[in-house]
Amino acid sequence: MPEEPNIGLLMFIAHRALEKRVLDAVTDAGFGITLAQARIFQRVGPDGTRLTELAEQAQVTKQTAGFLVDQLERAGYVERVADPTDARARLVRIAERGRRATVVAAAVVAEVEAEWTAHLGVRRMADVRDALTRLRQITDPYERRTTG
């Protein structure tokens, strides 16, 4: 009898399915963005994020993050602006085209969550969300920076 997949693999499979749906929809809507670019883009905070933080959160080198941000900037998804807290630093901030792409992405996320809720039921879906939110407290070193 085959072994049951571990919890990490099960979460990854669900995440990958959601990620693919979002990326496909964004691409179909005319926003050409790669998976690597999306993984940097989704970490840009509402007030902008420093490149070093994006690299750290995406678990890539600063050079790789810089390369991906350059691509995103040329495509109009992000812009670099002065950091109001440090004149020497720059922030990566979502640009207008990027905001339009996030609207498409958010709609797909809502659609997928509705499908999962229909499949699991409202109570189970709420339990999944609660469990993962609680787990985030001990697994996400950036949790305090990305929630309000």
In order along its 148 residues, the chain shows pLDDT tens digits of: 578 889 999 999 999 999 999 999 999 999 989 999 999 999 999 999 999 999 999 999 999 999 999 999 999 999 999 988 888 889 999 999 999 999 999 999 999 999 999 999 999 999 999 999 999 999 888 765 544 3
pLDDT of residue 143: 67
* Residue 113: count of CB within 10 angstroms of its CB: 13
6-9-15 Cα angle (round to 5): 145
pTM: 0.84
pLDDT of residue 146: 46
- CATH architecture designation of domain 7-141: Orthogonal Bundle (1.10)
Check if the beta carbon of residue 55 is closer than 8 Å to that of residue 61: yes
48 phi and psi angles, rounded to 5 deg: 100, 160
Check if the beta carbon of residue 22 is closer than 8 Å to that of residue 39: no
pLDDT of residue 87: 82
Kindly compute the dihedral angle of the four CA atoms of residues 33, 38, 40, 46, in this order, to the nearest 10 degrees: 100
Q: For the chain, what are the domain ranges?
A: 7-141
pLDDT of residue 23: 95
* Residue 125: count of CB within 10 angstroms of its CB: 16
